[in-house]
Amino acid sequence: MTTQARLGGQKLTRIVYSEETIARRVDKMGREITESYTEDDDLLVLGLLKGSFIFLADLVRSVDLPLQVDFLVAASYGSDTASSGDVRLVYDSDASLEGRAVIIVEDIVDSGNTLNRLVPLLSERGPKSLEICALLHKRIGPLVKEPRWVGFDAPEEFLVGYGLDFSENFRHLPYIASL
């Protein structure tokens, strides 16, 4: 770990997924998505901000199909290390989902609260298909829809780096570490 491993009194305890491990897995996920769709599918990739932005950027560069990217912002953490359970949709996409193949890109699925709120909301908008791609999955909460693509099963730790944060810190790290 670098000198960036300590910030605001918080210290990283270990690197869980290295930069190289993440890059290999994200590239493979992009190839799997490419194999799952055709050029006629009108693919829309919806990233959940802020945590998914680095993952989403790397992922869509590995997808060899025409696609569009848009974003949603849902908040449930605030400045704590546990989800409050209260999911607020702070920013909604203006993109039409009607008849499109939609992939929700999430950085981490833990309690499932965010996806359990968003999947029914987005399903009502008439997409041809609605799938979830998650970099990390803790598998601790019941989901209305399981992710089709998962990068890694995540340990029961609070993780930061590669887009994941603690109070807006640590997102910039090229690896994923335990706080």
- Tell me the pLDDT tens digit for each residue of 128-174: 999 999 999 999 888 899 999 999 999 999 999 999 999 999 999 99
Q: Does the pLDDT value for residue 2 go beyond 70?
A: no
Determine the pLDDT at residue 1. Answer: 53
Mean pLDDT of 122-132: 96
Which domains, from first to last, does the chain contain?
19-159 (3.40.50.2020)
Q: From residue 89, how far is each of 30, 40, 59, 107, 141 by CA, in Å?
A: 27, 30, 23, 16, 20
Q: Apex CA 32: angle with CA 92 and CA 131, to 5°?
A: 30
Instruction: Tell me the whole-structure pTM to 2 decimals.
Output: 0.88
Q: What is the pLDDT of residues 58-104, one digit of tens each?
A: 999 999 999 999 999 987 655 554 554 567 778 778 889 999 999 99
What whole-number distance in Å separates Cα of residue 114 and Cα of residue 83? 10
Instruction: Answer left, alpha or beta for residue 59, where phi above 0 means left and psi between -120 and 50 means alpha.
Output: alpha
Phi and psi, residue 108, nearest 5°: -145, 135
Phi and psi, residue 62, nearest 5°: -95, -5
- Tell me which of 42, 58, 107, 110 is the catalytic residue: 110
Catalytic residue check, 165: no
Q: Does the pLDDT value for residue 3 go beyond 50?
A: no
